[in-house]
Chains A and B, each alone.
Chain A
Amino acid sequence: MKLDPDQIKKRCKIKGLTLQELLESAAVSRTAYYSLARKDSVLPASLLAIAGELGVAPSAILREAPAAEWRTRALIRQAIRVVDQHPQASFENVWHTLVLLEEPPVDRLRRSLLRGRAVDLH
């Protein structure tokens, strides 16, 4: 299985990102990316060997995690990086901010109002 740069470009376009921005956001260096892009297979040789013995494509013996899991893991990495840069910041606050930034502003405000009305602050 090779990396598909066209697919990456297409996904970047959908998210409104350049490749540079994507790599920065994912904390992946250009060197690492292009090294990956040049490989004939991004999967480990042992996995390819197992698939070969079974006579199936490597994807047939891989279980893919749902997209939400990948996104959550990416956000966790971002939160860790923010807290590393700002040690006084609370991981919880940073995490919740990142999660809210995934939503449109109107939904962020709705959440805030719903919680505010459920818990009387005054």
Chain B
Amino acid sequence: MAAPSIFTEQEQAFLRELVRQRVDFMIVGLAAAALQGAPAVTQDIDLWFRDLGDPRLQEALKRVGGVYIPPTPSTPPMLGGRNVALFDIVVTMHGLDGFDRELENTIEVTIGRTKVRVLSLERIIVSKKATNREKDRLVLPVLEDAVATLRARNHRS
């Protein structure tokens, strides 16, 4: 097991509060891929919210000592505070449909004691292909091989 020095209970508490407050969100990007077993490497946990103006999001943040920093012409919307520093807000998911449609392409993953919605590997691949930066192209074979592995495994069981 990896050392629990990262993504600690305090950091997981934010996800717990989001679920408790019934905020509509999903984990996307490589953190979502890693949760599903892909050997991908990431620096942060990307969260996609249906509505950044949702007061329940503010409440969840408040309960873990975090703050929402609205976007400016030169900066994206951000989260501030020690317990939420690991999380990034994603505003646009290239190549994908809107939040509500993509919610149908999520799976439920248990993190600690919390069940969260996580974008499926197949849709992460679509998004990475659409974004098409060098780092996205590099990770595509890893994600595609993980899908093949999961399909073979699920087919067998």
Could you say which of B5, B7, B31, B135 contacts A121, with CB atoms under 8 Å apart?
A: B135
Interface pair A97/B35, CB less than 8 Å apart? no
The total number of A-B Cβ pairs within 8 Å is: 119
- Kindly report which residue of chain A lies nearest to residue B5, judged by CB atoms: A114
* Interface SS majority for chain A: helix
Total number of A residues with any Cβ neighbor in B under 8 Å = 38
Could you say which of A85, A94, A107, A112 contacts B41, with CB atoms under 8 Å apart?
A: A112
Assembled-state Cα–Cα distance A21/B157 (Å) = 5
Which 4 pairs between the two chains have the least Cβ-Cβ distance?
Answer: A93-B145, A112-B34, A96-B39, A110-B2
10 further A-B contacts with Cβ under 8 Å, apart from A113-B6, A113-B44, A116-B43, are A21-B156, A79-B149, A98-B149, A100-B34, A100-B38, A101-B149, A105-B35, A109-B7, A111-B2, A116-B41
User: Can you give 6 A-B contacts (C-beta < 8 A)?
Assistant: A17-B157, A81-B152, A82-B153, A97-B150, A112-B40, A116-B41
Residues of B participating in the A interface, judged by any CB pair closer than 8 Å = 1-7, 12, 30-31, 34-45, 86, 109-112, 135, 141-142, 144-146, 148-150, 152-153, 156-157
